[in-house]
Amino acid sequence: MSCVSLRSAESTSYRVTTAISSTSMPCAKGSRFRGERVAFSTFYSGIFRPRQMRGPAALSLTTAPPKVAGSAPYDDGFDGATEAFVYHYRSPQGTSANAVRAAEADNRALRAAAALNVPVIYFRGIGPGQYAAVAPRL
């Protein structure tokens, strides 16, 4: 299974929030930039790059919360030994050419963030409708 290990740049520190609701969290609302709302994430796709961004890198990742009667659909997590988050690439949501292209585009954005060593926001699912945001400290 393909995955990527993300580490913060040495000069960047991260902070982790307490549990936040998916309906009230900042990523659902986004922020205003140049008179336009820019979302921080979406819950429909784990890898997110808003259309307003320039450059190839992803802005954020969202991990599905564990299911009540099972595990999350991907084996994402935190590796304490390396202090890195492990995030599995997006799989196509079907066999159509469009589904494959969408997954490939998201995965390229994630690889670009790692290659360019830019920080990303990580919304880690911790329970049904609950996320912990791991974000660069500015």
Q: What is the pLDDT of residues 57-82, one digit of tens each?
A: 988 888 877 777 665 566 777 777 87
pLDDT at 2: 35
Domain residue limits at 74: 3-136
Give which of 1, 3, 116, 137 is closest to 63, Cα–Cα: 3
* Confidence at 108, pLDDT banded by 50, 70, 90: very high
* Whether the predicted pLDDT of 92 surpasses 60: yes
- Pairing type for strands 130-136 and 20-21 reads antiparallel
The pTM of this model reads 0.72
CB contact at 8 A, 130 and 19: yes
DSSP assignment, residue 53?
A: -
| Tokens read off for 15 | 């902070």
Tens of pLDDT, residue by residue over 117-137, are 888 888 888 877 787 877 766
* Number of domains the chain is built from: 1
How far is residue 89's CA from residue 66's CA, in Å, rounded to a whole number?
A: 17
How far is residue 20's CA from residue 126's CA, in Å, rounded to a whole number?
A: 10
Tens of pLDDT, residue by residue over 32-44, are 888 888 888 877 7
